[in-house]
Amino acid sequence: MIAPRRHPAQDHFRQPLTETPFHPRLAALCETESWYNWAGQKALHSVYDEELEYFAIRSTAAVFDISPMIKYRIRGPGAEAMLNRLTLRDVRKLAPGRVQYTAWCDDAGEVLDDGTLFRPGPQEFRLCSQGRHLPWILDTAEGFDCTVEDESTAIAGLALQGPASFAVLQAAGFSGLETLKTFNIRDLPHEGGQVTISRTGFTGDLGYELFCPAEAALSLWDRLWSAGAPLGLKPIGYNALDRARIEAGFIVPGTDFIATDLALRADRARLPDEIGLDWLVDPAKTQFNGRRAIMAARAKGGPRHVLVGLEVEDNTPAVGAILYHHKKREAGVVSSAIWSPMLKRNIAIASLDAPYGSRITEDLWVEIYALRELRYHKLMKRARIVPRPFLKLRRRTVTPPGLV
């Protein structure tokens, strides 16, 4: 009974590795051919040079194709109540014209995904995420007066990030954005249609995300490109973005936590509290998926896992390293790690098994296996728990954006 309802709404699986609406421009600029599969679409690890791309984010401006993001349009008088059932935060507090970072769980309180919830209008929402959740959202919406539409391929998305991103938009003729505050949305005209610009991003820098119909993608790219190239606008791939997001302390599903519906092992699923998303949980709002289990776990004595930011001594990124307490007892694993070019610090995101990370926070070590020309260098380095984000930039939030 469920299957026929879902299939017509979702046929992404019929064609493997499709091209995003920006593909012709990216392919023309690409020097690495480092394509990978992002949700069934071709995406680039790097366009020309990972290092330079990273510095474009931090010193000029960078465009990153986010079209493969999964995007659901939810409309109707019951949309707010439905999304309040679906997600952890109170959607009633999300004003029209604003964006909310949020997450959603199953009945057991285990995280299905995180994402951003846009509210362009009182009865209109867009939910963006890494994973596909149409069956879950449709089932959640049953009984609510709203429609759910997968607009992942119909809508193209572009992240424009970096200190010069505002200048690029201004030069491209998108006017009035100096008043746009962080997490605000605005619709601006483009080629007879509209482009939705939000002051959001995944870099912790000044930045915007632009959404437009797939047909308008290339003209939007060209408009930004011709205005932005003189300002140092560069196309980037995922690797550069990944560095920026680690500095910003953001977590990625599949990397820093395993979505419960994708976890093959039952003990890999995580409650929001166990991956640092406790601040999203709003127990004071209406009932929502997972509330009962999350509150029960809290009453039982807190999370069994703790996601933390680490600063590791020396300069070898601790990717995949095992964490030890007192160099002896296994305490967790590093899920993301880089040498931060901005901070000149060796930073990491790690999951610890309680009481490590909660009661025991000292005397932590990471064991790094660094492969150096066919020989592993086994390094035992001290790790210190530090607050996230590692990198805090004033320019991210200052309005109007300026040279700060």
The residues binding another protein (CB under 8 A) are 1-2, 81-82, 84-86, 106-108, 136, 139-140, 142-144, 283, 285-287, 289-292
Which is closer to another protein, CB of 108 or CB of 231? 108
Q: Do 34 and 240 contact (CB within 8 A), yes or no?
A: no
Q: Per residue in 203-227, is it b (16+ CB within 10 Å) or e — as a string?
A: bbbbbbbbbbbbebbeebbebbbeb
Q: Which is nearer to another protein, 139 or 191 (CB)?
A: 139
Q: How far is CA 198 from the centre of its chain?
A: 14
> Shortest gap between Cβ of 300 and another protein (angstroms)?
13
The SS3 assignment for 341 reads coil
279: which residues sit within 8 A by CB, 6+ positions away?
Answer: none
Query: What is the closest distance, in whole angstroms, from the C-beta atom of residue 265 to another protein in the complex?
Result: 18
Instruction: Look at residue 220 and give its three-state secondary structure.
Output: helix
CB of 229 to another protein, least distance (A): 47
Q: Give yes or no for a contact between 355 and 364, defined as CB atoms under 8 angstroms apart.
A: no
Q: How far is the CB of 108 from another protein (least distance, A)?
A: 8
Q: Which residues of 34-57 are buried (b: 16+ CB within 10 A; e: fewer)?
A: bbeebbbbbbbebbbbbeebbbbb
- Quick one: 145 or 187, whose CB is closer to another protein? 145
Whole-angstrom CA distances from 230 to 164, 171, 326, 390 are 11, 10, 53, 31
Q: CB-wise, 291 or 396, nearer to another protein?
A: 291
144 or 238, CB closer to another protein? 144
The values of phi and psi at residue 177, to 5°, are -75, -5
Provide the minimum distance between the beta carbon of 260 and another protein in the complex, in angstroms, as a whole number.
11
Q: At closest approach, how far in Å is the CB of 292 from another protein?
A: 6
Residue among 55 and 104 whose Cβ is closer to another protein? 104
